[in-house]
Amino acid sequence: MSIARRAVPGDAGELIRLRTVMLDSLRGAPHPDTGWQPAAAASLRDRLADPSGGLAAFVVERPGGGLAACAVGTIERRLGGPDDPEGSVGYVFSVATDEAMRRRGYSRACMEGLLGWFREHGVRRVDLRASEHGEPLYASLGFVRTPDPAMRLSW
């Protein structure tokens, strides 16, 4: 089993590269617009440097340099309710593995690290959106489908 580590600000560029791998995989083809990447890397670098921030990433290093896989998540503070009086909700996004590095347990190691971070911060509920390829991993970690429909408004 591979060992995942907590990402540091210097990993931001590689984390954005892996996010692009994930987005292109979901889309089925590379997106022609890569202009978002520098700003996203700068923002992520700042968020990873903030020790009190509600964002963490866990990564597995690629043999020969760079990152092989990652899982990134945030903690949101919402209004509490019966199942979660404090209103701390985790959200997982950008779980990605380089194509050549898949089927080695890297995403699992990253997810286990991220789930441990959520537990350490008192998070009692973690949400994510699963692709068809990712669903077996998430189910094996205890995630279940929910009846909640998702809606979105974009400006």
Domain ranges of the chain: 5-140
Compute the average pLDDT of residues 116-123. 94
Q: Single out the residue of 31, 137, 38, 27 nearest to residue 92, CA to CA.
A: 137
Question: Could you tell me which CATH class the domain 5-140 is placed in?
Answer: alpha beta
Query: CB of 111 within 8 A of CB of 59?
Result: no
Return the percentage of the chain with pLDDT > 70, whole number: 99
Compute the average pLDDT of residues 107-126. 95
pLDDT of residue 22: 92
Query: CB of 80 within 8 A of CB of 86?
Result: yes
Q: Is the pLDDT of residue 144 over 70?
A: yes
pLDDT of residue 1: 52
d(CA 94, CA 15): 8
pLDDT per residue as tens digits for the range 49-104: 997 889 999 999 999 999 999 999 999 999 988 888 889 999 999 999 999 999 99
